[in-house]
């Protein structure tokens, strides 16, 4: 798919027209389009990787490296994972078949509350080109038209990937405009897209706080923020320390450039002297840069830099971790609620009482007991895929899957009733 030279208004108008036809399309057609998209991903893997190599070369020229470069990179294994993800979405039940509520009113009118598409959804996202496929597939399965606005750093990759889904949709008989891609206009184009309130029903940004702030300044469209993940692992006084080390290392190291990786490790003061030296040594050996508060630095046993005020509020998306010592579960909860972004938080503990306090009082979309924050993911939650993880409370919270891309309407059938 070549990046469009049309105006944003024209693209949005075409998507609006397509969305008005999607609600009546047989779900088998939507599934057929997605299965064809999965097949095209596999057959055109070499083309996808070649386009991605163009993006990678440009990114390296701009000094992008490490975890950020990893987020941008595609290989045959990742392309296959995208194809498998699309097939898993196909296998999910049709969300539009759900009757949420059904009853007969006092008037004798038969009332049903049914699930319907939102309409036109604009997805604005950074670096990761796999979001192109996840977002498009979820939107088509849920009967929505989608406008994709990816990062300029992944322009070549996104053009090929969006083109594959659009081609598959056309082959299956879906209307033109169900999958659109806009890119290249910078912040001005983003602002124009965010102001199409008569044509676009919802905008979902998937990126850091900078993208969130940029949208907040200009949008006239409702926004569902798939926002940043300043995630914590808290090691409670009654934690199994071997388990806690494994969870802390996994949450930071397994894939540091994603939003569900841990950015802060909090350790109870009563076990910090025992826990920190081995845990931090393991993190350092994995290449993690460590900064921390004074108590953590004194007990660390390895080099730990001083944490700044900004560090506690930063989503690094890299091999860097802030370490703090806290006096009990109440202090840990208070710290997380003050500095966390509401994404994913974990406690490692053998105490049911501490676990209960943590899960009830920590204000986050996903709260874990004795497990890594890395499990906050649409695939892991059985959603097939996700567009991101919502850290707000309306209308959805947590991984944004099929149901979160729908709304409801009431259908009422009478036999001549009038209201007196």
Please give the structure tokens belonging to residue 68: 């950020």
Residue 127: predicted pLDDT = 80
Q: Which of 109, 115, 114, 116 is nearest to 412 (CA)?
A: 109
Q: Is residue 280 classed as helix, strand or coil in its secondary structure?
A: helix
Question: For residue 354, what are the contacts with CB-CB under 8 A and spacing of at least 6?
Answer: 236, 237, 238, 329, 347
Neighbouring CB atoms inside 10 A of 246's CB total 15
Q: Stretch 222-229: mean pLDDT, rounded?
A: 86
Share of the chain above pLDDT 70, in %: 98
**What single DSSP character describes residue 108?**
S
Question: For residue 132, what are the contacts with CB-CB under 8 A and spacing of at least 6?
Answer: 148, 150, 154, 157, 158, 161, 162, 165, 181
Looking at the DSSP assignment, which residues form a beta bridge with residue 276? none
Q: Stretch 94-121: mean pLDDT, rounded?
A: 97
The Cα–Cα gap between 143 and 116 comes to 8
Split at pLDDT 50, 70, 90, the class of 2 is: very low
pLDDT, tens digit, 9 for 90 and up, residues 275-318: 999 999 999 999 999 999 999 999 999 999 999 999 999 999 99
Q: Do 24 and 137 contact (CB within 8 A), yes or no?
A: no
For 8-226+387-413, the fitting CATH number among 3.20.20.70, 3.40.605.10, 3.40.50.300, 3.30.930.10 is: 3.40.605.10
Q: Stretch 215-243: mean pLDDT, rounded?
A: 93
Q: Stretch 171-188: mean pLDDT, rounded?
A: 88
Which alpha helices (DSSP H) does 92-185 contain, by range? Answer: 130-141, 155-171
The Cα–Cα gap between 38 and 7 comes to 30
**What single DSSP character describes residue 223?**
B
CA angle 69, 71, 77 (to 5 degrees): 110
Looking at the DSSP assignment, which residues form a beta bridge with residue 325? 267
Average pLDDT over the chain reads 94
Which residue is listed with tokens 């070499």?
Answer: 46
Give yes or no for residue 3 having a pLDDT over 70: no
Reported pTM: 0.87
Residue 175: predicted pLDDT = 95
pLDDT, tens digit, 9 for 90 and up, residues 15-54: 999 999 987 899 999 999 999 999 999 999 999 999 999 9
The Cα–Cα gap between 255 and 252 comes to 7
The Cα–Cα gap between 318 and 255 comes to 9
For 231-375, the fitting CATH number among 3.40.50.1980, 1.10.3720.10, 3.40.309.10, 3.20.20.70 is: 3.40.309.10
pLDDT, tens digit, 9 for 90 and up, residues 329-369: 999 999 999 999 999 999 999 999 999 999 999 999 999 99
Residue 73: predicted pLDDT = 95
Please give the structure tokens belonging to residue 273: 């002297």
Give yes or no for residue 380 having a pLDDT over 80: yes
Which residue is listed with tokens 């998209």?
Answer: 37
CA angle 176, 124, 48 (to 5 degrees): 65
Residue 65: predicted pLDDT = 86
Domain 8-226+387-413 identical in fold to domain 231-375: no
Q: Stretch 76-102: mean pLDDT, rounded?
A: 96
Return the minimum-mean-pLDDT range out of 37-51, 162-176, 201-215, 238-252.
201-215
Question: Would you kindly state where each structural domain of the chain is located, as residue ranges?
Answer: 8-226+387-413, 231-375
């Amino acid at each position: 798919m070549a990046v469009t030279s049309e105006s944003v208004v024209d693209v949005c108008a075409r998507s609006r027209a397509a969305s008005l036809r999607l609600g009546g399309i047989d779900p088998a057609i939507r599934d057929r389009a997605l299965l064809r998209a999965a097949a095209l991903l596999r057959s055109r893997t070499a083309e996808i990787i070649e386009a991605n190599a163009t993006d990678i070369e440009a990114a390296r020229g701009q000094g992008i490296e490490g975890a950020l470069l990893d987020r941008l990179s595609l290989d045959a294994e990742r392309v296959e994972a995208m194809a498998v993800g699309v097939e898993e979405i196909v296998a999910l039940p049709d969300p539009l078949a759900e009757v949420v509520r059904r009853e007969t009113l006092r008037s004798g009118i038969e009332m049903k509350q049914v699930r319907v598409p939102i309409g036109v959804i604009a997805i604005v996202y950074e670096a990761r080109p796999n979001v192109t496929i996840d977002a498009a597939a979820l939107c088509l399965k849920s009967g929505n038209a989608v406008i994709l606005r990816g990062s300029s750093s992944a322009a070549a990759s996104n053009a090929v990937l969006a083109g594959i889904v659009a081609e598959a949709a056309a082959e299956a008989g879906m209307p033109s405009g169900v999958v659109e891609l806009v890119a290249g206009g910078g912040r001005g184009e983003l602002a124009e897209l965010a102001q199409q309130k008569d044509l676009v029903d919802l905008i979902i940004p998937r990126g850091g706080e900078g993208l969130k702030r940029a949208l907040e300044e200009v949008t006239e469209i409702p926004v569902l923020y798939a926002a940043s993940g300043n995630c914590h692992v808290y090691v409670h006084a009654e934690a199994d320390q071997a388990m806690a080390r494994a969870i802390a290392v996994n949450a930071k190291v397994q894939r540091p450039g994603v939003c569900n990786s841990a950015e802060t490790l909090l350790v109870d003061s009563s076990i910090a002297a025992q826990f920190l030296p081995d845990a931090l040594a393991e993190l350092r050996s994995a290449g993690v840069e460590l900064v921390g508060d004074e108590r953590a630095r004194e007990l660390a046993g390895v080099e730990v830099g001083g944490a700044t005020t900004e560090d506690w509020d930063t989503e690094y998306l890299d091999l860097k971790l802030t370490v703090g010592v806290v006096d009990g579960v109440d202090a840990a909860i208070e710290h997380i609620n003050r500095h966390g972004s509401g994404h994913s938080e974990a406690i490692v503990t053998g105490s049911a009482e501490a676990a209960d306090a943590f899960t009830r009082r920590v204000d986050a979309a996903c709260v874990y007991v004795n497990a890594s924050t890395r499990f906050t993911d649409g695939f892991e939650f059985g959603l097939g895929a996700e567009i991101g993880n919502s850290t707000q409370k309306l209308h959805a919270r947590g991984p944004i899957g099929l149901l979160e891309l729908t709304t409801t309407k009431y259908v009422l059938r009478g036999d001549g009733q009038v209201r007196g």
